[in-house]
A and B are shown apart, each in its own frame.
Chain A
Amino acid sequence: MNKNKTLSLAIMSGKGGVGKTNIVLNLGYALQQAETTAMLMDCDLGLANLDVLLGISPEKNLHDLLQTGVTAEDVLVSIEPGFDMLPATSGVPELVEMDEDIQDILFKKLIAIAGRYDYLMLDLGAGISPTVLSLAALSQLRVVVVTPEPTSLTDSYAMIKVLTTQYGIKDYLVVVNQALSAQEANQTFDRLSAACKNFLNIELRNLGFVHQDSTLVESVRRQTPLMKYAPKAPASKDITGLARKIMRYREDNLERIGGRPILKNFPS
């Protein structure tokens, strides 16, 4: 079913602008540096950002992948050895909402190569659109990126509530991004976690936090991933820590992961 035990993660956030795509990209880097392999898929089909953060302008994207005869390999862009990405489109409103037919075409092609990697990361768009929710439900794990801002906290909670009540999903990992201190990060996690426990009766798992780091802003401007631009920056170290936890999760659950399809409903 999933013989290489590929772990799929949907990276999501209720609110936009919380640094989700940066987390995805740099997590991918950290996993690659730890000598595991990862594939990123930019699932924000209307407004793609992953390629922009890398300073690349791919010839082909997911829009092309819809065409008959185009394979996932044709669209795949190599970032580093063992670290690849599938770029999305920008400016195609028709693709923002992937209906089940579009999802079927894309994921059937994607699943043909996803099994080669240790990790498949889906960078979901912000919000609680049907597409975001259904992609979150497909993945084995969901990583919710929040910041200490009350708006981010509320939006993340709303998103978790919708996924829990409508899709019956109860397991979430939380990353607190742009935290000024460990104390602030913990307080943020605790509030979200307590609300989920109290009202939804689910336990969130704390994946860790990433410091607010001006180097990150600089790396975005330079279109170079932070892990590459400033591997010693505080945020880089934090992200390496997150990657380690994800790797440990995979190691601890290898058997379970191997027994489940990489993406629900898409047997490989």
Chain B
Amino acid sequence: MPKEKKINFPEQELATELSELQKELCGLTQACLGKLDTDAVWVFRLFKDITPEKWDELSAKHDLQQWLTMPIDSDAFPQLKKFQKTLENLSYQTDHDALTGLANRRAFDRILDIEIERSKRAKTPLSLAIFDLDDFKSVNDTYGHSKGDEVLTRFAEHLQASTRRYDLAARFGGEEFALIMAGSGVVKATQLLNRLLHEFKEIEFHSSDGETSFNVTCSAGLTCFKGTVNMTEKQLIDLADEALYDAKSSGKDQVKVSRLPFVDNVPNETLVQANEKQFLFGGK
């Protein structure tokens, strides 16, 4: 819905105008969107005497980043490139955790869903681990939040470095992390987790004043799916969570494996029963 209105320089007027328009449009879109068959409203404004550089300055100063600009009398390429970069950043942010750079919960949910489907189709194993750093609150309380962030970042780096390219490491939030290991069964996954936990607790952290050093341990809950039973993403996460709880209540700093859904479901329609054997041996 185009809207005609002349805008005059100077700067303050322009900024006020655009801000008001922005607010107005926000209200407008919320009110109208349900009735329109589109989910976006485009409003165009033509500015004279503003270079892309000048616009960057203005938009930052007056919080007008929602407006995208394009020079019409000079090369549009640099501006388009910037526009693309912005899109890339935004798309990165929707899938990644800002502090650690690991996948975020949203990306994790999407990948886990795909991997469960793959495992069902191909009957390949899929292991899921959930980690929780032990006594993390006391790290924050004793050494400060920035030290806490450093521990989280180091753990994320360590997690990323210890796993294979096709594993997915994610941060659930707080001091909780998760790892999807496609193609790995319980034995391989347990080995990997034990090594990971062991190596992480060897890392020495130092207080900001350099006076004291400390180590952080981690607990992990593991579950494994082999595509043989029907399971939802939530059920699988719950199993790993239960195992994590078990690891915590068993003294922390360890890996615990959940009840394994695939052993409940070994088919027994082909099993030779005791009475069948007796029949073979004795004829009755």
From A157, which residue of chain B is reached at the shortest CB distance? B280
* B278 CB to nearest A CB, Å: 10
Binding site for B on A (CB under 8 A): 150, 153-154, 157-158, 161-162, 165-166, 190-192, 194-195, 198-199
Beyond A150-B281, A162-B270, A195-B280, 11 extra complex contacts between A and B, CB < 8 Å: A154-B272, A157-B276, A161-B272, A161-B276, A165-B270, A166-B270, A191-B280, A191-B281, A191-B283, A194-B279, A199-B279
Q: Mark B257-273, 1 if CB is under 8 A from A, else 0.
A: 00000000000011010
Give the chain A neighbours of B276 by CB distance below 8 A.
157, 161, 195, 199
Give the chain B neighbours of A165 by CB distance below 8 A.
269-270
* B64 CB to nearest A CB, Å: 59
**Interface SS of B by simple majority:** helix
* A82 CB to nearest B CB, Å: 39
Give the size of the chain B interface in residues (CB under 8 angstroms).
9
Q: Choose among A162, A166, A192 the residue that contacts B280 (Cβ–Cβ < 8 A).
A: A192
* B268 CB to nearest A CB, Å: 10
Give the chain B neighbours of A150 by CB distance below 8 A.
280-281
* B277 CB to nearest A CB, Å: 6
* B284 CB to nearest A CB, Å: 9
Give the chain B neighbours of A198 by CB distance below 8 A.
279
* Cα-based distance from A199 to B274 in the complex (angstroms): 12
* Cα-based distance from A224 to B269 in the complex (angstroms): 43
Give the chain A neighbours of B283 by CB distance below 8 A.
190-191, 194
A157 touches B272 (CB 8 A): yes
Query: What are 26 A-B pairs at a CB distance below 8 A?
Result: A150-B281, A153-B280, A153-B281, A154-B277, A154-B280, A157-B272, A157-B276, A157-B280, A158-B270, A158-B272, A161-B270, A161-B272, A161-B276, A162-B270, A165-B269, A165-B270, A166-B270, A191-B279, A191-B280, A191-B281, A191-B283, A192-B280, A194-B283, A198-B279, A199-B276, A199-B279
